Structure 1
Amino acid sequence: MDAVFKALADPTRRLLLDRLRQQNGQTLRQLCEHLEMARQSATQHLDLLQQANLVTVVRRGRERLHYLNPAPIHEIEQRWISGFDKPRLHAISAIKNQAEEQAMINTTASAPSYVYVTYIRASAEQVWQALTDADLTARYWGHANVSDWQPGSTWEHQRLDGSGPDVVGRVLHTEPPTRLVITFEAPGEEAADGPSVVTFLVEPHHDIVRLTVTHENLTDPAMLNGISQGWPAVLANLKSLLETGEVLPHAPWDMAQSCASQWGAASSRS
């Protein structure tokens, strides 16, 4: 966390994060438009933000798109803030998130709408297996992801009771063990702009892996809100399983529902 606090201590770096919060997925040129500094200086600030995992870079052709990564901020909130006044803070956070989600929806259609990065002590092969093995996904996700994972094949996010899939799609691209691209939609759903698309990028480095998940072509703020809560919970469970051999003691996606219920009860009493 020292790198995060050091990165946040500089007003220029906070300004860069604010600009990404207003519009995610910007190039270096876009970020420098209203900064009174050379591109080289801005690049140095962005490098520090990237080292602190506050910013992640996604390459699209010759461009480098910069995204605000919420994971370190979330860790600070959990450790230093959330214990003080949870109901009121959850209400403020909900208002803030709604504004940010609308801003993210308004970004260009060619850019990912949501990006999340996590680091896992595992090999690329282990992470790939965790993403594509039906038995492993059932352990950390509560659903079995079923497919042969060949380009053009279908895949299903199947309930464990056999009552049917909650999500379906097609495999668009696969490069084991580093890259998997799939469509992601509810059964029978046909969005006007096509299904949303999820990309898993697995980057090994010595004995750890950086896993980047991008989810693009989201249809509305409600879908963005759902995946913004869902992906961190699922990936935290995956990380726990690979690093400790066990999933988290409680399903992490239930936490957001519990917090929402607590806030609703507190609001009704006030």
Structure 2
Amino acid sequence: MDKVFKALADQTRRYLLDRLHEHNGQTLGELCRRLEMTRQSATQHLAVLEAANLVSTVRRGREKLHYLNPVPLNEIQERWIDKFERPRLRALSLVKQQAEKAEEAMADKPTFVYVIYIESTPEKVWHALTDADLTAEYWGHSNVSDWQVGSPWEHQRTDGSGTADAVGTVVESSPPTRLVTTWAAPDADATAEPSRVTFDIQPHGDIVRLTVTHENLADEAERTAVAGGWAAVLSNLKSLIETGSPLPQQPWLVPR
């Protein structure tokens, strides 16, 4: 094992193993053509690899062919990696596969993006998006949460009933520039993938560029519905921040 670690410690010897992995059974001349070194230096490196049993050789006439022997590398993996890391690596691999499946599923569903410019600061826009009393003024619902990652949030009616018409989880919270939440109906199937809303708040001088991205929508009909809803809510938000009052008429009640 010591000879194996010593052999692997040198970059040139690792390069030789890589080349044999790509194309096994090469002669010294073929290997030297890939290296900027003399045949004598390459021979010395190959001798170290042979001593570690990482390379074996076979004579074919006057030629000496070099072959990669993966057995010592497999022994290192079994001795130093597998028994310590296998459960964790399997768990990480499972997480990666699930994340990739979720991304593929979301990629197949409609996404709505809306951009609006507001004369304000990122801090004020963030406050308007997360303060329950302010959301009640321009949204007709109170968004209630502590806005910490992993916390639940509710889109509660303002009639005092405490009824939530939408619920979700805070996925990302980076005040005052980015907020990501999941959205679902309170009675939605627990196994169904919820939609996700991202608020990106970017300052541009004396104004703010607010981008709302609503992903993983069920179909085009739902995309059309949320498009009208977001346009109305964000217009009301802009009016409240810039003038101190929401629009004189609730925009989501205006016939389209």
Give the structure 2 partner of residue 201 of structure 1: 200
Give the structure 2 partner of residue 186 of structure 1: 185
Aligned residues: 151
Give the structure 1 partner of residue 164 of structure 2: 165
Cα separation, 1, equivalents of 2:108 and 2:217: 11
Asked if 1:174 corresponds to 2:173, the answer is: yes
Give the structure 2 partner of residue 129 of structure 1: 127
Contact 2:110 2:220 (8 Å CA) reproduced: no
Give the structure 1 partner of residue 10 of structure 2: none
Q: Report the residue type matching 1:126 in the other structure.
A: K
CA-atom RMSD in angstroms: 1.8
1:144 to 142, 145, 153: 142
Cα separation, 1, equivalents of 2:106 and 2:154: 29
Deviation digits for residues 84-139 of structure 1 (CA, Å, limit 9, x no counterpart): xxxxxxxxxxxxxxxxxxxxxxx971787110000000000000000000000000
Q: Report the residue type matching 2:170 in the other structure.
A: V
1:150 partner SS: coil
Q: Give unpaired runs (5+ residues) of structure 2.
A: 1-104
Give the structure 2 partner of residue 216 of structure 1: 215
Give the structure 1 partner of residue 33 of structure 2: none
Cα separation, 2, equivalents of 1:246 and 1:216: 30
Q: Report the residue type matching 2:146 in the other structure.
A: D
Aligned pair in 2 of structure 1 residues 167, 108: CA closer, same or farther (>3 Å)? closer
Contact 1:197 1:217 (8 Å CA) reproduced: yes
Q: Report the residue type matching 1:140 in the other structure.
A: Y
Q: Report the residue type matching 2:117 in the other structure.
A: Y
Give the structure 2 partner of residue 56 of structure 1: none
Give the structure 2 partner of residue 155 of structure 1: 153
Cα separation, 2, equivalents of 1:201 and 1:110: 23
% same residue: 60
1:180 partner SS: strand
Give the structure with higher Rg (CA). Answer: 2
Q: Report the residue type matching 2:149 in the other structure.
A: P
1:194 partner SS: coil
Contact 2:169 2:182 (8 Å CA) reproduced: yes
Poorly superposed stretches of 4+, deviation over 2 Å:
190-193
TM-score by length of 1: 0.53
Cα separation, 2, equivalents of 1:110 and 1:171: 23
Give the structure 2 partner of residue 239 of structure 1: 238
TM-score by length of 2: 0.56
Cα separation, 1, equivalents of 2:208 and 2:177: 10
Q: Give unpaired runs (5+ residues) of structure 1.
A: 1-106, 260-270
